[in-house]
Structure 1
Amino acid sequence: MTDPIKTPQPAERPNPEFRRRRAANRIRTYLNQLPANTIGALWILLAAFLFSIMVALFKFIGQDLSVFQILVVRQSVMLLIVAPKILGGLPGSLATKRPGLQVTRVLFASGAMLCGFTAVVEMPLADATAISFSKTFFITIFAIWLLGETVGVHRWGATIVGFLGVLLMLRPDGEGFIDPFALLAIAGAACAGMVMIVVRILTRTDPPVTILTYQALGVGALMLIPAIMTWQPPTLSQWGLLLVIGVISWAAQMANIRAFKSGEATAIASLDYTRLLYATIFGALIFSQWPRLETLLGAAVIITASIYTVRREAKRGRELARAADGRGYTN
């Protein structure tokens, strides 16, 4: 008796989970082969995109809810996400040798967020974003004042040119009126510049997790009382947007940190200015707001002067901003 003919069976296909893992490994292997600056560039482009989405959502929901309320929920969501890192570092994450500077950083970070986000809500998105780039020049001034840095004619020249770009964006109207929210945006940029200087000092004595802990707790605490006073019960969709803002803010910060850990600041920092492109697109598509010609020209001046400053200081072996972990949640 002959054996029956066996029908060939198709080869067993790998399950979906195996295929996903294999694809992830291939992507990871490919990325690991890229130059460090290329990886950093990819991360900072992602961070710029995420920050731009977060700011656009903030502007959208800020039409109905107060900035205080949004910031409290945002900080709370971010705090919950980083809580394992903070709790895992206790009691070291609360041990600081410079408590006064920690408080100073919290105050200026709160000012940066409050002024910056209020300007975002009230101004065209591209205008507020462009003015925020003046932070680089405030860092120069505060570094001279607080760190005793010596600044040469080239850096002073770039700083003056950058401020001329800011003045171009603030050009008064025929009656000499300057938009008060534009001034608020500049105040936010100045506070953000001070935060970077304070962080540079703090990292000499305190670890990044400590700086992160005080900022995460301090900013939320400062915003709590005014948030309660201006609280309006969010709808279900608004709660969803608030949670998304918190998660995207955390993801953007992490991408920013990974960018400056992977690549050289001088090679990738200029890519952060792609935020202006995203802000222009989102402002036009979502809010039907186009930037003024003065804004675009002023932004071009600021960006050019900023890139020149960063690259020149790199040639001299100096840093305008400290390492990634100290950047904290200032955006």
Structure 2
Amino acid sequence: MNKAPSSEAGDADPSSSDSKPDPENGNSAGPNSPTGADERAGVSWTARLGQRLAALPTNTIGALWILQAAFLFTIMSTLIKLAGSDLSVFQILAVRQAVMVLIVAPRIIRGLPTSLATKRPDLQIARIIFATTAMLCGFTAIIELPLADVTALSFSKTFFLTIFAIFFLGETVGIHRWGATIVGFLGVLLMLRPEGDGFIDPFALLAIIGAACAGLVMVILRILTKTDSPTTILTYQAVFVGLIMAGPAIYTWKAPSLEEWGLLIMIGVVSWAAQMSNIKAFRAGEATAIASLDYTRLLYATIIGALVFSQWPSVETLIGAGIIIAASMYTVRREAVRGRQLARAAEGRGYNN
């Protein structure tokens, strides 16, 4: 009885000598036998799952991460809209950044000073500037516009992303991805109905500006994730955006209620999870290959807008959503086929190390 079972299956070594099969695992050999068998089975299943995920094309892995990020960002937008009914966008942003700093603080402290080390301070500064602008514009639009409308407007970042990726990443965008991007953007325009007030509303214009800045941030992320860790990238944004927002937040501060404090804390937690998912997505996959999956946020925003805010989508919104989803699925299907070549070729990443 000198074998100590592990309490954490994920930390166990599947190649350990303790992983030998038990010829009597179907019988009750003792109180510890079923538990040991379950642990060994759990480790084996986890190892097999990890191997299968690692064998996937990198663009497929990136697609899975960005789908998770899309859902979390929609939840974040919903919480911001709820909190923004009585609190300023500066206050929301300041508390959000403070919560994110607290979440990553243990990892930063354990890894000091390397956890704050960056090989591209210029890109970190650029990301902070564009991220601050994107969040101020985007959060204001979320508070003032219907959730589905501001989500649709934010999709214009795909157009900016494709252009920026060509110039700054050197990515080669083929006719298929160009076509899918353009068709998806036309779907957004259909939902906005340009002949109406879609682009006249100042808050809609803010959403477009925020989308352009978000496109730049995504391109910068694609470069930064090759040199800096996800924690370092997130820390720089969380700390410095929070410092920038501190002054305006103090000036416009209103004492939150207990419910509002709960919303503010949740905004920070969900934002951290969404940011980490987004960083991992663009670390794994090609920017122009996986960005179209962000369109799934429209589905989430439509459902939540109807259930929480009683904002039902129009016929134009539904048709536009169908166009966007079709374009997104076409891109995913094509990139899944080509992903293995892209995973092996440095030039398929859009740039050479």
Please report the TM-score for the alignment, with normalisation by the length of structure 1: 0.75
Q: Distance in 2 between matches of 1:58 and 1:255?
A: 19
Measure how far apart 1:265 and its partner are.
9.4
The reply to whether residue 196 of structure 1 matches residue 182 of structure 2 is no
Alignment pair present for 1:125 and 2:147:
yes
Greater displacement, 107-116 / 59-68: 107-116
| 1:18-37 matched pairs, under 5 angstroms | 33-34=48-49, 35-36=52-53
Structure 1 position 278, deviation (Å): 2.3
1:280 and 2:295 equivalent? no
After the TM superposition, which of the residue ranges 148-157 and 50-59 deviates more from structure 2?
Answer: 148-157
Aligned to 1:73: 95
Match of 1:154 in 2: 176
| C-alpha RMSD over aligned residues | 3.9
Structure 1 residue 234: deviation in Å? 1.0
Structure 2 residues without counterparts, runs of 5 or longer? 1-30, 343-347
| Distance change in 2, residues 1:26/1:204 (3 Å) | closer
Question: What is the correspondence of 1:252-263 to structure 2 with a 5 Å cutoff?
Answer: 252-254=274-276
Residue range with higher mean Cα deviation, 183-192 or 78-87? 183-192
Percent pairwise identity: 69
1:172: Cα distance to partner? 3.3
* Cα pair distance change 1:210/1:305, threshold 3 Å: same
Alpha-carbon distance in 1 for matches of 2:157, 2:37: 43
Q: CA deviation at 1:228?
A: 1.8
Query: Please, which of 197, 200, 204 is the counterpart of residue 178 of structure 1?
Result: 200
Tell me if the contact between 2:177 and 2:331 (Cα under 8 Å) persists in the aligned partners: yes
Instruction: Give the alignment partner of residue 164 of structure 1, picking from 186, 202, 218.
Output: 186
Contact 2:155–2:185 (8 Å) recurs in 1: no
Find the partner of 1:245 among 231, 250, 267. 267
Aligned AA (1:132): S
Residue 65 (structure 1) shift: 0.6
Matched AA of 1:197 = V
C-alpha displacement of 1:42: 7.6
Q: 1:242 to 1:181 in 2, by over 3 A?
A: same
Kept in 2, the 8 Å contact 1:139–1:320? The answer is: no
Alignment TM-score, normalising by the size of structure 2: 0.71
2:95 paired with 1:83: no
Question: Contact (CA 8 Å) 1:66, 1:230: kept in 2 or not?
Answer: yes
8 Å contact from structure 1 (residues 266, 310) kept in 2: no
Q: What code does the residue aligned with 2:316 have?
A: E
Change in Cα spacing, 1:27 to 1:288, as seen in structure 2 (3 Å) is farther
Task: Structure 1 unaligned segments of length 5 or more: list them.
Answer: 1-13, 322-331
Does structure 1 conserve the Cα–Cα contact (< 8 Å) formed by 2:73 and 2:270? Answer: yes
Change (3 A) 1:26 1:121: farther
Aligned-pair CA distance for 1:123: 1.5
| Correspondence 1:59 to 2:85 | no
Structure 1 residue 178: Cα displacement: 3.1
* Superposed counterparts of 1:181-330, under 5 Å: 181-254=203-276, 273-309=295-331, 312=334, 315=338, 317=342, 318-319=348-349
- C-alpha distance after superposition, 1:133-153 (max 9, x if no partner): 333332110012223334333
Distance 1:254 1:176 in 2: 32
Number of residue-to-residue matches in the alignment: 307
SS of residue matched to 1:231: coil
Question: Which amino acid in 2 is paired with 1:81?
Answer: I
C-alpha contact 2:160 2:212 (8 A) present in aligned 1 = yes
Is contact 1:133-1:303 (8 Å) kept? no
Per-residue deviation, 1:311: 5.1
